[in-house]
Structure 1
Amino acid sequence: MKNVSILILLNLILFAKGTKIPTDVLDLNDKFVDVANEGSWFIKFYAPWCGHCKKLAPVWDQLAHSLTEKNSLVRIGKVDCTRFASACTHFKVTGYPTLIFFRNGVQIPYEGDRQKQALLNFVLKASSPTIGTLDSTAKFSELKKSSEKDPFFVYIDGEDKDQTLFEEYKNVAESLFAETRFFHATSIMPFPANVVLRKRPAVVVFKDNDYYVYEPEKEKLHGWVNSERWPLLPQVTPSTLNSIATSTNKLLVLVVLDSIYIHNSSSEVGRFYKLAKDASKLVRQDSDLHSQFQFGWLDDLHSQFQFGWLDGNSIVNSIVMGEMSVPNILVFNVSNYEFYLNNDVPSEMTAQSVYTFLQTIADKRVTPLGGRSWPQRIRRMFYDITTNLYEMFYHQPILTCCLFGVPLAFFSIITYSICSSDFSVDREDVYPEDEEEESQDEEDDSIHKNGKKKCFASIHILDDGHEKDE
């Protein structure tokens, strides 16, 4: 069986080498189904006519080239679903492009950003060991450099031999290893002196140049990891919006910025970005205060809100069904499409005023807007239609005019032809002239005959009367 699989794999590689354009992407066929469980694969299921697939094609080639340079064991491939429908049906592909990572038979769908770096980070995580080993200060320092954008979790052993927490940690790592990084340290040695643990074993997350310790008495480990695997202020994109909201189970505090000016502290956008970071830290400190003073009867703001910044206002415009200025801030509930707007002018906002605004939302002192009521759904439907039409005319005016103009002209011609046609019926069409004359002659003959009969009847009556008189 193993030899058969090897032969199939060789056939797939030879099939890929037969493509005309040199590429590190394997062009696969239906036989991929037989070898999908062997090793690591990252496959793009596509259709040649798909616009998104065409846009992804150069990025996919760049990804394959980068992994080849790193001597990665992950094979990058693609399957044309118009030619090899059997393979696509087997893997339940319903849309294009569909990206799936195969790791020894385990399928991991990819739904993140389709930029090269995001795809590369995903592949490196998905192909790495589920739980890595953290055994040196140098390795910890290397990991911490990227922790502001990519948090990582560490299980630190203790004197307690109970493996319950570690088993739970392993289960969480196996379900989320493609999303975030997990490590295991046998001692406190790799960590700096400022990392203080009250007890061990412990699970710690390092992010935003700080660390936070898991408290088992408060919540389940899986929920805590899902909530803490995002930085304080991550970038939110259309592909990550839902995953951030659903994994954290929080309201999203969306900060509308422009990536061009985000690091320019003298610009309004740069100032607002710093304001948002300070506000997110205040919300985080609110959680720390609750933990320190054990306000168990109150929900801290950190457990209710997750910050994130947007590059441009297109996402928030679709939420509010209008135009929002840049910079700005919006609180959004993904589950029911309700949102909250701050009445303060963006130029006058401060970190403390944003914190106060979130506190009023948590206390339910602000009425939400939007929602999923029928009037809102109908309004959103019309907004989406008009917005899409505008975007089509703006980006592809000639193509859009042809797309809508030709059917509209054809329909107009048909409508004009129907409306301008004369459907009135002349008398001559129903009663031809000769038939009308024949009918008139017959009518005259009938009258003439009837007149004679009446005359004869009158004579007979007169004769009878005369005879009686005699």
Structure 2
Amino acid sequence: MKFFFLEGACIMGKLGNYLVILFISGFMLHESDAFSKWVLELGDNFADLHTDGGYWLVKFYTPWCGYCKRMEPIWGHVVQTLKNTHIRIGRIDCSTFPNIAQKFGITKYPTIKIIKGDEQHTFQGDKDTEQIVNFALRMSGPAVEHITRPESLTNIKNMNQLFFMYVGERQGALWNTFNDVANKMQAHAFYYSTSANIAKKHIYLNDTPAVFVHKENSQYFYTVGEGNEIEEVHHLNASMHKWMNEERFETFMKITEGNIEEVLQTNKYIVLVVVEENKLQEIPKEMLEFRNMVESVIRKDRDKYHSSFQFGWTSNLELANSFAMETISLPYLMVLNSTTLHHHIPEDEPLVMTVEAIELFLERVYNQTAPVYGGNDFAVRLYRAYFRAKTTLVDRYRGNPVLTIVLLGLPTSFLSFILYSCICSDILDAEEEDEDLHEKRE
């Protein structure tokens, strides 16, 4: 499902962004010289280089892109982390080499891809160092890494990463399905396999083969489901794919514009707490207490809620306003239907809600008795685009009214001049024709 209004701001917002970027681009620098020696400046030659069989992590950018410039420190840390690996790192200026950008299907900047021969995978998610590095390491190795030593599994667990693991002999329907789904979802998580002897030193196993996800220092096992034999490969594949797609997120995650598209693919209800967060990642006490109270609901009764609800929080007010299609007050609680984009809000103010009130609200949402707002039909999408355009313009004006007036005035004046020239040209031509006709009559 494409949440279209998250791809960028409206046309007016984009125009403003581009003009600001053009205004400041002369004062921005490229990656630090300390990292540039590890990054290859690629161009049209990459059309041949990428077919040599090695792995390439490539950033596609343009000099005028503000997002690209803000990402430069992160990219520098990525380079520093991966410089001694088998992954080669490069970047391509798409304004200089548009043919390469077109060849690799680049439509927005910056775009990060891992490329090997004819295979290419685009990074999706928040552009932070850890996620980009993990993406590169996952995609430059086997889909399923086999663990042969107990200490290796200990090290993996100590990294506090979410991962999926198959335990048992690497054969049979369950292994084939696990391996197949891991190949399809390699970009999203780490996948491992190991023997029962090694696994039993770390977790309790009833039987093998088995598949589990490790997250937040706990293991949750995959079950085929009642009424289906394990030999039914088609059902097993669909069932495991659905399970992994749901389990690849933390129980109570931070939701951002970088990962919202992925979260919506769970087809769950998204329980979203909206709070304020400063640059030091500090949350006001009352808002933090409310967020923690909502989190306690899923922590206390995961079995009840996890199959239908994905819990999370955000400090991105613009993202939350886009869902609600109004300017919300904080803290805020909503439940978003990831399939229809309808949303639900409780009748009580968040700060006076109790755990019991939250549970009752979620029960009403699940039973479809809670009031419904929004949606994804044409009229709602149109209003959502209008609301986002309006709020973007208002926020820009509040931040810098003079610059906003200039940004709006320039294109408006330019369009007015074009219209004036066209209209006046027609009038002048008509007057000349009248004069010629009058002279002929005389």
User: Shorter chain as normaliser: what TM range?
Assistant: 0.7 to 0.9
Name the CA distance, whole Å, in 2 between partners of 1:345 and 1:121: 40
The alpha carbon displacement at 1:62 in A equals 2.8
Q: Aligned residue pairs: how many?
A: 381
Matched, 1:215 2:223: yes
Q: Tell which structure's C-alpha radius of gyration is larger.
A: 1
> What does the per-residue CA deviation read over 1:153-178, in whole Å, with 9 as the maximum and x for residues that have no partner?
111116xx852111111111111222
**Which of 287, 292, 299 is matched with 1:269 structurally?**
287
Q: Match for 1:227: what amino acid?
A: E
TM-score (norm 2): 0.77
C-alpha contact 1:23 1:61 (8 A) present in aligned 2:
no
Alignment of 1:147-166 (within 5 A): 147=160, 150-157=161-168, 163-166=172-175
Residues 165/179 of structure 1: CA separation in 2 closer, same or farther (3 Å cut) = same
C-alpha contact 1:56 1:114 (8 A) present in aligned 2:
yes
Q: Match for 1:238: what amino acid?
A: E
TM-score (norm 1): 0.73
Name the CA distance, whole Å, in 2 between partners of 1:145 and 1:105: 35
C-alpha contact 2:274 2:317 (8 A) present in aligned 1:
yes
Residues 40/409 of structure 1: CA separation in 2 closer, same or farther (3 Å cut) = closer
Whose relative contact order is higher, 1 or 2, with alpha carbons under 8 Å and at least 6 apart? 2
**Which of 24, 36, 39 is matched with 2:50 structurally?**
36
C-alpha contact 2:222 2:243 (8 A) present in aligned 1:
yes
Name the SS for the 2:224 alignment partner.
coil
Number of the residue aligned with 1:456: none
**Which of 307, 310, 320 is matched with 1:306 structurally?**
310
Name the SS for the 2:214 alignment partner.
strand
Runs (4+) of structure 1 exceeding 6 A deviation are 261-266, 412-415
**Which of 59, 67, 87 is matched with 1:52 structurally?**
67
Alignment of 1:351-366 (within 5 A): 351-366=355-370
Number of the residue aligned with 1:144: 157
Residues 263/237 of structure 1: CA separation in 2 closer, same or farther (3 Å cut) = closer
Name the CA distance, whole Å, in 2 between partners of 1:259 and 1:128: 37
Name the CA distance, whole Å, in 2 between partners of 1:192 and 1:90: 49
Name the CA distance, whole Å, in 2 between partners of 1:51 and 1:284: 41
RMSD between superposed Cα atoms in Å: 3.3
Q: Match for 1:202: what amino acid?
A: A
Alignment of 1:39-438 (within 5 A): 39-68=54-83, 71-103=84-116, 105-147=118-160, 150-157=161-168, 163-192=172-201, 195-217=203-225, 220-246=239-265, 248-259=266-277, 267-286=285-304, 301-406=305-410, 408=412, 411=416
C-alpha contact 2:143 2:191 (8 A) present in aligned 1:
yes
The alpha carbon displacement at 1:143 in A equals 2.6
Q: Match for 1:211: what amino acid?
A: Q
Residues 106/350 of structure 1: CA separation in 2 closer, same or farther (3 Å cut) = farther
Structure 1 portions without partners, runs of 5+: 1-18, 287-300, 419-428, 430-470
The alpha carbon displacement at 1:338 in A equals 0.8
The alpha carbon displacement at 1:79 in A equals 1.2
The alpha carbon displacement at 1:339 in A equals 0.3
Name the SS for the 2:204 alignment partner.
coil
The alpha carbon displacement at 1:136 in A equals 4.2
Number of the residue aligned with 1:450: none
C-alpha contact 2:275 2:331 (8 A) present in aligned 1:
yes
> What does the per-residue CA deviation read over 1:214-246, in whole Å, with 9 as the maximum and x for residues that have no partner?
112356211111111111011111021111121
Name the CA distance, whole Å, in 1 between partners of 2:385 and 2:284: 40
The alpha carbon displacement at 1:146 in A equals 4.2
Name the SS for the 2:64 alignment partner.
coil
C-alpha contact 1:262 1:273 (8 A) present in aligned 2:
no
Name the CA distance, whole Å, in 2 between partners of 1:24 and 1:131: 29
C-alpha contact 2:39 2:91 (8 A) present in aligned 1:
yes
Name the CA distance, whole Å, in 2 between partners of 1:184 and 1:222: 17
Name the CA distance, whole Å, in 1 between partners of 2:155 and 2:348: 41
Name the SS for the 1:189 alignment partner.
helix
The alpha carbon displacement at 1:307 in A equals 1.0
The alpha carbon displacement at 1:407 in A equals 5.3
Name the CA distance, whole Å, in 1 between partners of 2:412 and 2:219: 62
The alpha carbon displacement at 1:263 in A equals 8.9
The alpha carbon displacement at 1:186 in A equals 0.8
C-alpha contact 2:43 2:100 (8 A) present in aligned 1:
yes
Residues 372/26 of structure 1: CA separation in 2 closer, same or farther (3 Å cut) = same
The alpha carbon displacement at 1:283 in A equals 4.5
Worse overlay, 257-266 or 84-93: 257-266
C-alpha contact 1:155 1:183 (8 A) present in aligned 2:
yes
Residues 262/325 of structure 1: CA separation in 2 closer, same or farther (3 Å cut) = farther
The alpha carbon displacement at 1:281 in A equals 2.2
Name the CA distance, whole Å, in 2 between partners of 1:67 and 1:129: 17
> What does the per-residue CA deviation read over 1:234-272, in whole Å, with 9 as the maximum and x for residues that have no partner?
1111021111121x2212111213445999899223322
C-alpha contact 1:137 1:191 (8 A) present in aligned 2:
no
